Amino acid sequence: TQLLEQSPQFLSIQEGENLTVYCNSSSVFSSLQWYRQEPGEGPVLLVTVVTGGEVKKLKRLTFQFGDARKDSSLHITAAQPGDTGLYLCAGEKNTGFQKLVFGTGTRLLVSP
Amino acid sequence: EPEVTQTPSHQVTQMGQEVILRCVPISNHLYFYWYRQILGQKVEFLVSFYNNEISEKSEIFDDQFSVERPDGSNFTLKIRSTKLEDSAMYFCASRSGTVGSPLHFGNGTRLTVT
């Protein structure tokens, strides 16, 4: 079973603070995607990382794929209330369009 | 921007009844998926579908579940005899044939089994 454990499960911070969410597995993934999910909606893709050690930036969000392609992190700088939501990592074992395995999720609440 | 649409948004049914959840994937996508999310829990894979057949299914996807792409546009999930534990959000997703392409999710159908 390809388990993706995310930590922390829940994070409540003040506007302006920085935070890091971790996504860890014992399995190697060919790619890893980060999604954000709002209440009552489906997950929406934020980024895809493919190469071990890869770092991608999306405005105040920085995503990193571990060298061994088993783990990933999401760092948010100067969090804003609009960042509130459920953050999900999802790994794909091969590039044959197999299923994505989703992580356990991190629920972020940013208060003004 | 093209999107995945799901109907109905909310379905209430009695235990033992059959339900059909409907999805219209993005038109030029080739791979289709159903996921479910029990309230407060993780997004779980149910089944993937390609070239008019199931390519992979999970342990959750037992004989009570089936999928169909009846007319080249719709993609349906049928649960033959619903159980209380089938209550969840069911998400349909599709992706193109490009390597590394993301899944595009619909907004889900909330299924409540009473």
Please judge whether B45 and A95 are an interchain contact, meaning their C-beta atoms are less than 8 angstroms apart.
no
What is the share, in percent, of chain B residues with pLDDT greater than 90? 80
User: For residue B108, what are the contacts with CB-CB under 8 A and spacing of at least 6?
Assistant: A40, A41, A42, B6, B9, B37, B89, B90, B91, B92
- CATH 2.60.40.10 correct for A5-111: yes
- Report the C-alpha gap between A35 and B113 in whole angstroms: 28
Where are chain A's structural domains?
5-111
> DSSP for B35-93?
EEE-TTS-EEEEEEEETTEEEEE-TT--TTEEEE--SSS-EEEEESS--GGG-EEEEEE
Indicate which CATH number applies to the domain containing B86.
2.60.40.10
Chain B residue numbers touching A104 (CB-CB < 8 A): 42
Residue-level pLDDT at B37: 95
Containing B110, the helix (H) or strand (E) segment is strand B109-113
Q: Residue A35: beta bridge partners?
A: A45, A88
pLDDT digits (tens, 9 = 90+) for B81-101: 999 999 999 999 999 877 678
Residue-level pLDDT at A1: 53
Residue-level pLDDT at A95: 58
Suggest the residue from B59, B103, B105, B109 to mutate for an interface test with chain A (most A CBs closer than 10 A): B103
B103: containing domain? 5-113
Residue-level pLDDT at A55: 97
Q: Is A2 on the interface with B (CB under 8 A)?
A: no
What is the total count of domains within chain B?
1
Residue at B40: amino acid letter = G
Please judge whether B107 and A95 are an interchain contact, meaning their C-beta atoms are less than 8 angstroms apart.
no
pLDDT digits (tens, 9 = 90+) for A54-82: 999 999 999 999 999 999 999 999 999 99
Q: Is A105 on the interface with B (CB under 8 A)?
A: yes
